[in-house]
A and B are shown apart, each in its own frame.
Chain A
Amino acid sequence: MNKPDIIKIAILAVGGQGGGVLTGWIVALAEANGWRVQSTAVAGVAQRTGATIYYLELCPMGPRAPVLALAPAAGDVDILIAAELMEAGRAVLRGFVTPDRTTLIASTHRIHAVSEKIVPGDGQAPEERIFAAMERSAKHLIAEDFQRIAVQAGSVISASLFGALARSEVLPFPRRSFVDVVRSSGRSAEASFRAFEAALTDDRQEGEVAATGQLPPAGPESLVAAWAALEARVSALPDPVQQMATTGLRHVVDFQDLSYGEEYLDRLDRFVAIDEGPFDLSVTAAKYLANAMVYDDVVRVADLKTRRARFARVREDMRLGTGDVAHITEFMHPRIEEACGTLPAPLGAWIEARPRLARWLDRRINKGRKVRTSGLFWFAALYVVAGLKRWRRSTYRHRIEIRHLDDWMDLAITTAAEDRALAAEVLACRRLIKGYSDTRTRGESKFNAVLQALPLLKDRSDAADVLRRLREAALQDEHGNALEAELKAFASAAAAS
């Protein structure tokens, strides 16, 4: 039978990525080379940030029109272009990538789905499974972060993917025609061409692929010397604990001062004293003690917002040069709780014990404030607040935090006497406390709910495991529904046994 070759190309993209543009370029490319081409898409609301598919069939021009399909079929795709990593996974899942024929061109960057973003814990889909699936399913694989390549060239991903298509050399068209198509693509042709060209090769100029890591702290000599003394204490810790302890110590000293770092190490020592190899409990303690001691009070926020490094980071994020002018506006919403927290402990406690007064004050304070920290006035205001650091230890907030910290630590130490693994899980529950205002309150109540299960776990060999499961459940949703279900299941199982 007469059988001209039909080349089948599917493009999987997220709505808004410009899959239509890429489709149009491939059409133009094929037509410029005298080929017949048919393209289709499912447009409409499906394109509003959802997963979309574009589909093309190409064949040499002949006297008769061939019958071309309007949608890709599993096992019948020659070139699959995925404009995002999970879309590449979806392509494999739908059978559009098969080892006998499919060239898979995938951008490895992530556009997270809403379901991945709204989890209070870490909801990100594991990427390695997608990479494994791509390797396994594709005949030929070109996987790179084409989004970054495009952005670096000041363009959009359709251009870099088109470059990758040229690079794959699966289409029987000369590179010259690819270039012509991009060159004549309208107002942003120049940027498109740069992205196209950058994607033609996998020879990336990574710049200085700098080794990441911690630099020794800079500062006045006396402080650096005192820091060295603390570091010496860390060196005396068991090997496995040292790395986390250093990180924790930096975090804590950065938050307050060197003597606060000393307190940190004192606390850590209590765990090390009752721990033994492989020192999992101590490592966990090093991590969560630091997180607990570095709480998010007004002073810390003001400090972080006014730092030199922060200004540099913002300018870098926005890709600003030295001469560029930009203004930074912060969105603050202080409440009476934050105000009281910053007051000396007795005064703060006194106000909070008087709900009517607290409410009256709250009405004056509780308001969204947009402040321009790139301007001198508000920078100075925040700068002064950051300077309150020296009195932090006497604030009401500090008293609350340290009491909470000590209770939690004592609980962990007591637990460790019977079950060290369980004690580590108790410490890890600190992960539940995060966020500000209501979010934090919810986190605290989850933290309490999980730890309240502790008495029920007495003498159980799987106690640590159960507590870990409860914590993971608490991180699944905002309102703690999964945790509640898990607690119920656990309670009824405990009652039955």
Chain B
Amino acid sequence: MAERSFAKEVQHLRIGAGQEFRGEGILAITKALLECGVGYVGGYQGAPVSHLIDVLSDAEDILNDLGVHFEANASEAAAAAMLAGSVNYPIRGAVTFKGPVGANVAADALANLSSGGVMGGAMVILGEDYGEGSSIMQERTHAFATKSQLWLLDPRPNLPSIVKAVRDGFELSEASNTPVILQVRIRACHVYGSFTARDNQRPPVTVRDALEDPRRRTERITLPPFTYRHEVEKVAERMPAASRFIEERQLNERFGGDGEIGIIVQGGMYNGVIRALQRLELADAYGESDIPLYVLNVTYPLVDTEVLAFCSGKRAVLVVEEGQPAYIEDAIAALLFRHQASCALVGKGPLPMAGEYTGTVLMDGVTAFLREHADDLLPHVHRVTNGQAAESVDPELERTVPIRPPGFCTGCPERPIFAATKLVEENLGPHHIAGDIGCHLFSILPPFEIGSTTMGYGLGPASAAALSAKGARRSISFIGDGGLWHNGLTSSIGNAVYNESDNVIVVVDNFYSAATGGQDVPSSRADNTSRSTHHPIADAVRGLGVRWVREVDRTYDVNRLKNLLTEALTTEETGPKVIIASSECMLNKQRRERPLRNDAIKSGARVVVPRFGVDEDVCTGDHACMRLSGCPSLSVKTLDDPLRDDPVAAIDESCVGCGNCGEVADAAVLCPSFHRVDVVHNPRPWDRFASRVSNLCIGSLQHWRDRRRLVFEERG
């Protein structure tokens, strides 16, 4: 079960023509796919399109009603390969994944798909994870479009434009026999807005029809001699067809007047540019402006004639293109040069080469451009608030506000795995440790600081392959259950078995693809009505030939993990040592169990709820426990005691009683200040009786002692 349920929202997907659809960007895209008569959909989760997979999963009934096949693919490569369904059949297909990491994984299939071309519209809905909040390397997916020749749509970030881009994208794909990428940035995926719906369409040809009437076209297969023809066809036929379509259907938009300067902007950057112009009082709330704007809702291919027409007669043109390299700006520069145009081209310069184009960056960039090339338009620039903020910021403030990167959640079952690793390293010395992709990569940050590299999803153990020598200190690599099923089983486990690696692999199994929002994976332990789960990881790795496999089904058992890691690092046994450390993702567990528990308490059932606490007078304020935890619920508290210099540990009400504190205090021999309190809700008569008896005895013992000594108490 995914972290977030869209069961309610997906009902909006049924609405018909003329009705107003309200919701998030991804929900709108799903609706648009149905309106376009898509025949099959698939994808692999990852921010910012995780919810698209969740929406599709939750909408399975609706998809079935329409005869649309949905596949929760094993990886982006699998998703992209699925688009082969549109090669020989006039069926529209769409898959989704994040970019550019998803595109990296999918590159093989995407290149093959693009080479032979498609008959039915084929679309990749790609969530571009760039800028603030991104968890991946900063790159652009644009390169994939140009290298494999897929058309790249980058619509203006409002729901009507995004929905229109889905419709246009399928038609463009079919008109040019080329797959397209619909690129949606992270904020646009989550933007809440509305658009006017159309009726959902059943696919004219369904996948069922195709299976009953299979077809093949040999010349579409990527094999010589056809590959050479594909290459020619791409430039001689498909590219011109696409340019024609884009021009005729006016997929790119022109706004504003006919001034001597202009701005060429990626569709996705449009709102930010308009906001800058609004603040400069050069545009109104609706984006009406005298400044000519050419909005590239299709950023590849560029339509040469449109670009040249826009630039002709202009003194200077600003290209607003987020990220680097500046593919669009460079292409326009080459085009202008080839046509000996006199217009000055500005882009990277006033605008930064790298980094997200935030409101502030665009404001500064557009202002700088106008100041240089159209100063007369800027009478009020000094009156705008921009810049004021920066002046008043206290430089001390910057040193004061701590950075707050994402980390393990309260009660996360992965925390004790890394606490155990840290303790083992204290005994056996430091080891080379390879990380993977997933929540477990938060181990690289304080307090654990475990892991030296991360090379890609499911590639943790593979990335430790070079550092392998018989008899030497072993390396440890981590891999999540998500990464394992994505790619890791072959690339990491199989690789280690085949190469007779002696190293240690820890599979962090939290029952879900947790970092992307808790989607099920084959080893998930939940019963999923439409997917096959309950496939044990241990069976899979044994099947690949791993002989040394150990399973821990409660990761909070720090001592056991410590012992297993020590054994794995020191055993004489050859071949990879695989420890499968399994406990359910606490975020998902709480979401599932807390409402049930609350209901049970309300209905009068006996429920025991654990929570941890710290005895502040036993705690010495050394914070050793926090250096082995980092749990949000375990924090520091300053006592009102002049004898104390340092704050003590304290556990707040968000504690879920996972047990990590107590286990770590034991395993690391920390201090005896932790205690667990098990609150018994709706106690039974026996509970009450036993409790009353022991309280009575304890009370009298305490009283006896208090009468024989001085008791010091504080007021308040």
Give chain A nearest CB distance to B273 CB in angstroms: 9
Q: B18 on the interface (CB 8 Å rule)?
A: no
Give chain B nearest CB distance to A223 CB in angstroms: 5
Q: Which of B397-405, B500-508, B526-534 contacts A (4 or more CB under 8 A)?
A: B397-405
Judge whether B617 and A304 touch: CB under 8 Å: yes
In the assembly, what is the distance between CA of A323 and CA of B685, in Å? Answer: 12
Judge whether B390 and A95 touch: CB under 8 Å: yes
A320's partner among B272, B671, B679 (CB-CB below 8 A) is B679
Q: A457 on the interface (CB 8 Å rule)?
A: no
B621's partner among A69, A97, A434 (CB-CB below 8 A) is A434
In the assembly, what is the distance between CA of A475 and CA of B621, in Å? Answer: 11
Q: A27 on the interface (CB 8 Å rule)?
A: yes
Judge whether B611 and A318 touch: CB under 8 Å: yes
Complex contacts, A172 vs chain B, CB 8 Å: none
Q: Which of A48-56, A402-410, A488-496 contacts B (4 or more CB under 8 A)?
A: A48-56
Q: Which residue of A lies closest to B630 (CB)?
A: A114
Complex contacts, A478 vs chain B, CB 8 Å: 624, 627
Judge whether A305 and B389 touch: CB under 8 Å: no
Complex contacts, A440 vs chain B, CB 8 Å: 622
Complex contacts, A2 vs chain B, CB 8 Å: 284-286, 288
Complex contacts, A314 vs chain B, CB 8 Å: 613, 675, 677
Q: Which residue of A lies closest to B661 (CB)?
A: A331
In the assembly, what is the distance between CA of A28 and CA of B679, in Å? Answer: 37
In the assembly, what is the distance between CA of A136 and CA of B397, in Å? Answer: 12
Q: Which of B108-116, B372-380, B698-706 contacts A (4 or more CB under 8 A)?
A: B698-706
Complex contacts, B188 vs chain A, CB 8 Å: 40, 70
Q: Please report the number of residue pairs spanning A and B whose Cβ atoms sit closer than 8 angstroms.
A: 432
Q: A458 on the interface (CB 8 Å rule)?
A: no
In the assembly, what is the distance between CA of A1 and CA of B277, in Å? Answer: 12
Q: Which residue of A lies closest to B674 (CB)?
A: A331
In the assembly, what is the distance between CA of A45 and CA of B405, in Å? Answer: 10
Complex contacts, A324 vs chain B, CB 8 Å: 679-680, 683
Q: Which residue of B lies closest to A84 (CB)?
A: B404
Judge whether A70 and B646 touch: CB under 8 Å: no
A130's partner among B390, B400, B615, B636 (CB-CB below 8 A) is B400
Q: Which of A71-79, A174-182, A272-280 contacts B (4 or more CB under 8 A)?
A: A71-79
Q: Which residue of B lies closest to A369 (CB)?
A: B666
Q: Number of B interface residues, CB 8 Å?
A: 138
In the assembly, what is the distance between CA of A119 and CA of B646, in Å? Answer: 10
Q: Which residue of B lies closest to A56 (CB)?
A: B192
Q: A34 on the interface (CB 8 Å rule)?
A: no
Judge whether A122 and B645 touch: CB under 8 Å: yes
In the assembly, what is the distance between CA of A75 and CA of B390, in Å? Answer: 9
Q: Which residue of B lies closest to A212 (CB)?
A: B716
Judge whether A47 and B406 touch: CB under 8 Å: yes
Complex contacts, A3 vs chain B, CB 8 Å: 284-285
Judge whether A136 and B392 touch: CB under 8 Å: yes
Interface residues of B in 669-706 (CB under 8 A from A): 669-672, 674-680, 683, 687-688, 691, 693-694, 697-699, 701-703, 705-706
Interface residues of A in 439-495 (CB under 8 A from B): 439-440, 443, 475, 478
Quick one: which of A15, A379, A436 has the most chain B CB within 10 A? Answer: A436
Complex contacts, A50 vs chain B, CB 8 Å: 404-407
Q: B447 on the interface (CB 8 Å rule)?
A: yes
Judge whether A99 and B677 touch: CB under 8 Å: no
Q: Number of A interface residues, CB 8 Å?
A: 152
Complex contacts, A140 vs chain B, CB 8 Å: none
Judge whether B403 and A130 touch: CB under 8 Å: no
Task: Map CB proximity to A onto B132-144 as digits: 1 under 8 Å, 0 otherwise.
Answer: 1111000000000
Q: A151 on the interface (CB 8 Å rule)?
A: yes
Judge whether A117 and B636 touch: CB under 8 Å: yes
Q: Which of A60-68, A197-205, A353-361, A413-421 contacts B (4 or more CB under 8 A)?
A: A60-68
Complex contacts, A305 vs chain B, CB 8 Å: 615, 618, 672, 675
Interface residues of B in 360-376 (CB under 8 A from A): 360, 362-363
Quick one: which of A41, A70, A115, A326 has the most chain B CB within 10 A? Answer: A70
Give chain B nearest CB distance to A372 CB in angstroms: 9
Complex contacts, A68 vs chain B, CB 8 Å: 158, 271
Complex contacts, A311 vs chain B, CB 8 Å: 698, 702
A16 in contact with B410 given A2-B286, A291-B643, A330-B675 (CB within 8 Å): yes
Task: Map CB proximity to B onto A97-140 as digits: 1 under 8 Å, 0 otherwise.
Answer: 11111000000001111111111111111100110110011000
Q: A254 on the interface (CB 8 Å rule)?
A: yes
Q: Which residue of A lies closest to B387 (CB)?
A: A75
Q: A364 on the interface (CB 8 Å rule)?
A: no
Q: A250 on the interface (CB 8 Å rule)?
A: yes
Interface residues of B in 391-439 (CB under 8 A from A): 392-394, 396-398, 400-410, 439
Judge whether A217 and B712 touch: CB under 8 Å: yes
Complex contacts, A66 vs chain B, CB 8 Å: 285-287
Task: Map CB proximity to A onto B655-676 as digits: 1 under 8 Å, 0 otherwise.
Answer: 0000001100111111110111
Q: Which of A85-93, A160-168, A391-399 contacts B (4 or more CB under 8 A)?
A: A85-93
A310 in contact with B402 given A114-B445, A328-B677 (CB within 8 Å): no
In the assembly, what is the distance between CA of A114 and CA of B192, in Å? Answer: 33
A48 in contact with B439 given A301-B618, A379-B701, A431-B646 (CB within 8 Å): yes
B632's partner among A59, A111, A121, A434 (CB-CB below 8 A) is A111
Give chain B nearest CB distance to A21 CB in angstroms: 12
Q: Which residue of A lies closest to B640 (CB)?
A: A212
Give chain B nearest CB distance to A214 CB in angstroms: 6
Q: B653 on the interface (CB 8 Å rule)?
A: yes
Q: B707 on the interface (CB 8 Å rule)?
A: yes
Interface residues of B in 266-289 (CB under 8 A from A): 270-272, 274-275, 278-279, 281, 283-288
Give chain B nearest CB distance to A74 CB in angstroms: 4
Judge whether A137 and B620 touch: CB under 8 Å: no
Q: Which residue of A lies closest to B606 (CB)?
A: A325
Q: Which residue of A lies closest to B706 (CB)?
A: A308
Q: B48 on the interface (CB 8 Å rule)?
A: yes
Q: B559 on the interface (CB 8 Å rule)?
A: yes
In the assembly, what is the distance between CA of A133 and CA of B674, in Å? Answer: 37
Q: B190 on the interface (CB 8 Å rule)?
A: yes
Q: Which residue of B lies closest to A302 (CB)?
A: B672
Judge whether A287 and B669 touch: CB under 8 Å: no
A115 in contact with B402 given A37-B192, A40-B190, A42-B186 (CB within 8 Å): yes
In the assembly, what is the distance between CA of A383 and CA of B701, in Å? Answer: 8
Judge whether A223 and B709 touch: CB under 8 Å: yes
Name 20 A/B residue pairs within 8 A (Cβ), A-sorted: A44-B47, A49-B406, A49-B409, A90-B404, A112-B636, A113-B402, A116-B636, A133-B397, A210-B715, A213-B716, A217-B710, A247-B641, A314-B675, A331-B662, A331-B675, A373-B675, A379-B694, A436-B670, A436-B671, A438-B669
7 closest Cβ pairs, A-B complex = A73-B359, A44-B47, A95-B389, A368-B666, A42-B133, A50-B406, A212-B716
Question: Can you name 4 extra interface pairs (CB under 8 A) apart from A304-B615, A306-B701?
Answer: A37-B192, A117-B630, A219-B709, A305-B618
Q: Which residues of B contact A (CB under 8 A)?
A: 47-48, 50-51, 129, 132-135, 157-158, 160, 186-188, 190-193, 270-272, 274-275, 278-279, 281, 283-288, 358-360, 362-363, 384-390, 392-394, 396-398, 400-410, 439, 442, 445-447, 515-516, 559, 595, 611, 613, 615, 617-618, 620-624, 626-627, 630, 632, 634-636, 638, 640-643, 645-647, 653, 661-662, 665-672, 674-680, 683, 687-688, 691, 693-694, 697-699, 701-703, 705-716
